Amino acid sequence: MNYSEGYLASRNGKQLFFCEWRTDNSPKGVVCLVHGLGEHCGRYNHVASKLTDAGYCVIAFDLPGHGKSQGKRGHIHSYKILQQDISMLISEAVKRYPDIPCYLYGHSLGGNLVLNYALGNDSRLAGIISTSPWLKLAIKPKSLILLIGKILDKIWPSFTQSNRLNAEGLSHKAEVAEAYINDPYVHDKISVRLFNSANVHGLLAIRKASQCKLPILLMHGSADPITSHKASRQFAENAGSVCTYKEWDDLYHELHNEYNNEEVIQYIIDWMQAVSDNIC
């Protein structure tokens, strides 16, 4: 595996940290990776290693306000710009790796983003992979909190507070929570604008899932205490035959960091291979 990094310019001028993992073999495909809330693409090095071993190149960036990218921690200017940034990442993938299948893979907040991106049915993509997407939270926010959030979004959208994520809910492996807490590029911030955008578009994705024409692999742990696996089930039911839904019994939020993560990643690899075979 060969690794390189740099920066890409977002549509709103922010410098976004970019990294690339290249397979040593002739690539079967390229995977565009979108991370979750508060984290960064560097936490997926082991995932990229498995994918490159299987013959896939991986490219990723830190979302605005995350990791090594510019921007106020946990804040976004607009959901639309995030979608444009994803389109830019896909353009970079297609430019670097023409004529091979391109897959879009998002986790948690990233899972929300890629499923909404799938609604546009970008012809450059061979398929979508979404793990533990933030379609709904595992614990529904109180109505008063949602109302206050809508009001603040109009007068102070950049107001941030702790996302109150319990790192112990990421994985059954205690070392995952410890590494997350001690990671200097991880933060616990979320702005009113980011929360409202994710909340609204999570519900939108469920409602419009039937519009997706691209193949989708949607996976969720049945014991996820952070995002709702029931909402993922609902999306899959609405999406119909284009969506392969895999529910992992008793697993927490970060499937790729669970005790059987190699099995989880292999499931993704096998699914991509099956999609590629159908394309051929």
- Tell me the pLDDT tens digit for each residue of 68-119: 999 999 999 999 999 999 999 999 999 999 999 999 999 999 999 999 999 9
- Tell me the pLDDT tens digit for each residue of 214-250: 999 999 999 999 999 999 999 999 999 999 999 999 9
Count of the separate structural domains present in the chain: 1
Dihedral sign, Cα of residue 192, residue 193, residue 194, residue 195 = positive
Q: What is the mean pLDDT of residues 255-275?
A: 98
Query: Full-prediction pTM beyond 0.85?
Result: yes
Whose tokens are 């991106």? That residue is: 117
Provide the residue range defining the domain that includes 201: 2-279
CATH number at residue 225: 3.40.50.1820
147 burial level (CB within 10 Å; 0-12, 13-18, 19+): exposed
- Provide the β-strand partners of residue 217: 129, 244
